[in-house]
Amino acid sequence: ATPPMPHQRDGIAWLESAYRVGLPGVLLADDMGLGKTYQVLAFLRGVRSRLDGSGERRPMLVVAPKTLLGEWREQIATHLGGDGLGRVVLAYDSSLTELVRTARPDPDAPGKRTLDVERLRIADWVLTTYETLRDYSVSFGRVRFEVAVYDEAQKLKSLTALVNNAAKSQNADFTILMTGTHIENSALDLWA
């Protein structure tokens, strides 16, 4: 793996510090190309290592636009190699159809399709899209995630959007919002 640059080392240390002191989450707003994904991956690997050693096995959730899902998988292979972050559940495209459960209706979401929550719970990490999170927010909300990462988090800035509500309904101990377009956001957008 490529060693981190000084600003990336600072970013990784900042993420670890925020996590360690129990903050609910952070906003990582760097210009594009400065290595936000690299910093988050280094942080997630550290979290995964600590969880593996502690006996607690909670999954991590990564939500990204569909166009970036391949990039996430490629970055994990490049920077983490081998098992990367461990067992992945891909909750998008054709892999999503394997997770969908229609046999038993969900009492909390009548008439809606649900996901195999147990498969999500036993994963080391889950990779999905904003649209899938929106459509299956009740199923995702039944899983306690150690960390939830939202790449291109400006997709959440509308307070009235269903995807914003879906993200807020997730049960994550620590949340990372990533954006490279922070200059375009108002204070209200950042608060949202």
Handedness of CA 140, 146, 151, 153 (dihedral sign): positive
- Cβ neighbours for 162, distance < 8 A, ≥ 6 positions apart: 134
* Confidence (pLDDT) at 118: 95
Its pTM surpasses 0.85: yes
Interval 163-189 mean pLDDT:
80
- In the chain, the percentage of residues whose pLDDT exceeds 70 is 83
Q: What is the largest CA-CA distance in the chain?
A: 52
Q: Amino acid identity, residue 49?
A: S
Label residue 94 exposed, middle or buried (CB < 10 Å: 0-12, 13-18, 19+).
Answer: exposed
**Neighbour order of strands in the sheet with 25-29:** 25-29, 171-179, 144-150, 60-63, 125-128, 88-91
Token representation of residue 164: 């914003």
Provide DSSP, 73-136.
HHHHHHHT-TTTTSSEEEESHHHHHHHEE-SS-BTTBTT--EE-HHHHHH-SEEEE-HHHHHHT
Average pLDDT, the chain: 86
Q: Which residue has the higher pLDDT, 187 or 68?
A: 68
Q: What is the pLDDT of residues 91-139, one digit of tens each?
A: 999 999 999 986 555 566 555 678 999 999 999 999 999 999 999 999 9
pLDDT at 184 over 80: no
Over residues 161-179, the mean pLDDT reads: 91
